Amino acid sequence: MIDVIDFGLTRDGEKVQLYTLRNKNGLTAKITNYGGILTSLTLPLAKEIREIVLGFDSLEEYTNDNYLSNYPYFGALIGRYGNRINKGLVCLDDKEIQLPCNHGEHHLHGGNIGFDRKVWTAEIINNKDLKLTYLSVDGEENFPGNLNTEVIYKLTDENELQIHYKAVTDKTTPINLTQHSYFNLSNNFESILNHKLQVNTAYILETNDLLIPSGKLYNISKTLFDFQTKKTIERDIEDIENYDDCYAFGESTETPRKVAELSDKDGIVRMEVATTFPGLQVYTGKYITAGKFGPFSGVALEAQGYPDAPNHKNFKHGWLKPGEIYQHQTNYKLIF
């Protein structure tokens, strides 16, 4: 069953709703059609109802200038292109397309006003799933083509929050959709450094200091970036300072496969991440300053395509052509 309440008005006066999904086990997910934001995900533990994502209780908290000035994209759907594009430039049919450079000299998460700040059209399916749709028109943020995007949120009785992505276009366009929730599985939001993380790959994308990929994969086995064997996030954080890396799994898959697992300090709550995407951006949140949330208060596990993929032919994705269907799925399974 899905409950709907008003969540406020945008600065342009658009009405926004908040949708509450529940499963038979008592899990609750709250999603607003502003940015497709997952505002809350709670678990019914023996002694408490535990909130495990960073989020706010009002639309104003997501839209005020203070929040946007150091914008962490809490819980939002990201598009047209998640992560970074080098200097905002892509080349299509021997012509350069200049996308907005909203992160220093580079393009980040769809530009100045990406999918994360749009009001999506919402539809409740079978009284249990939430379908969000958005038409990104030709030329929006200088992206070519009319892109019809559909995202379905499902909260299953197997305690999985599933996110199903689908998109079609009438012109070839760069695309990389993702979901930008920050997770904290403990019973407070002080720090995720004591969380244990496992990521099932020996490779990350090689990047420069501004996190722009070189096009090469870097073998991280037995390095500080290696999470193939589960370890605490804090174990090597003093030397790393902050993880913000795209872990690489090779090709996309037709069905989700497990790529990562996160658990709280005491192992009371675990979360498995499964996805069809080829990459997982792990960001440990050193630069979070938003309301009551500070540095390392959450970790983002963003299943996605590779950053800057349109500029690297060997990445073999990053573009969507007319007649093709962009389709991916990510599952966050809670075990407690």
Instruction: State the Cα–Cα distance between residues 241 and 59, nearest whole angstrom.
Output: 32
Confidence of residue 305 (pLDDT cuts 50, 70, 90): very high
Sheet holding 15-22, edge to edge: 2-9, 15-22, 28-32, 38-44, 49-51
Q: For residue 198, which amino acid is it? A: Q
Average pLDDT over residues 194-217: 97
96 labelled catalytic: no
Q: Is the pLDDT of residue 229 over 90?
A: yes
Q: Is 12 helix (H, G, I), strand (E, B) or coil?
A: coil
Confidence of residue 309 (pLDDT cuts 50, 70, 90): very high
Active-site residue identified among 107, 180, 312, 328: 180
Nearby residues of 169 by Cβ (< 8 Å), 6 or more positions away? 145, 146, 147, 148, 175, 320, 321, 322, 324
Average pLDDT over residues 247-262: 97
**What local confidence, expressed as pLDDT, does residue 321 receive?**
98
**What local confidence, expressed as pLDDT, does residue 25 receive?**
98
Q: Which CATH number fits domain 2-335: 3.30.1330.10, 2.70.98.10, 3.90.1820.10, 2.30.40.10?
A: 2.70.98.10
With contact defined as beta carbons under 8 Å apart, do 50 and 107 qualify? no
- Alpha-carbon separation of residue 75 from 34, 98, 180, 240 (angstroms): 11, 27, 5, 25
Residue numbering of the annotated binding site: 83-84, 180-182, 244
**What local confidence, expressed as pLDDT, does residue 1 receive?**
84
Q: What percent of the chain has pLDDT over 70?
A: 100
Q: Which long-range contacts (CB under 8 A, 24 or more apart) does 240-245 make?
A: 241/286, 242/283, 242/284, 242/285, 242/286, 242/287, 243/282, 243/283, 243/284, 244/211, 244/281, 244/282, 244/283, 244/284, 245/204, 245/205, 245/207, 245/281, 245/282
Closest C-alpha among 72, 137, 147, 146 to residue 103: 72
- What pLDDT, in 10s, does the model give residues 150-186? 999 999 999 999 999 999 999 999 999 999 999 999 9
Structure tokens at 146: 């009319």
With contact defined as beta carbons under 8 Å apart, do 203 and 218 qualify? yes
Nearby residues of 24 by Cβ (< 8 Å), 6 or more positions away? 157
Average pLDDT over residues 321-332: 98
- What pLDDT, in 10s, does the model give residues 42-80? 999 999 999 999 999 999 999 999 999 999 999 999 999
Confidence of residue 221 (pLDDT cuts 50, 70, 90): very high
Residue 219's DSSP bridge partners are 203
Closest C-alpha among 249, 258, 275, 251 to residue 328: 275
Q: Is the pLDDT of residue 119 over 90?
A: yes
Average pLDDT, the chain: 98
Residue numbering of the annotated binding site for beta-D-galactose: 83-84, 180-182, 244
Supply angle C-alpha 261, 281, 234, rounded to 5.
Answer: 60
- Environment class of 96 (CB within 10 Å of its CB; exposed 0-12, middle 13-18, buried 19+): exposed
Torsion from C-alpha of 122, 81, 59, 242, nearest 10 degrees = 140
Structure tokens at 217: 């994969």
Active-site residue identified among 106, 302, 317, 328: 302
Confidence of residue 288 (pLDDT cuts 50, 70, 90): very high
109 labelled catalytic: no
- Report pTM: 0.98
